[in-house]
Amino acid sequence: MLILINLLDLLVGLLYLAIIAHWLISLGAVALDHPALGKFKAFMDRALAPLYGPIRRFIRPVNGFDLTPLVAVILVGLAWSVLSRILGLLV
């Protein structure tokens, strides 16, 4: 069970990194001069669409600023906190 918790913790950490990387690229903080970064952004758009889609139905951009990644990080953190406590009780 501990291996499962550690694996899920790793996956949540990678999801955090993906959300932050996608957010930085979307803000323009990372230049997309290299073709590989354009492909990476397209991949991240497709990979994070299932997570962002339901959030975007409820949270609209504020003055052109998309709050979806921030809300996604908070929701993933809350879900992981609850799930890790439940799994911790089973150990």
Q: What are phi and psi of 62, to 5 degrees?
A: -105, 115
CA distance 69 to 45: 12
pLDDT tens sequence across 23-82: 988 888 877 788 888 888 899 999 999 999 999 999 988 898 889 999 999 999 999 999
pTM of the model: 0.82
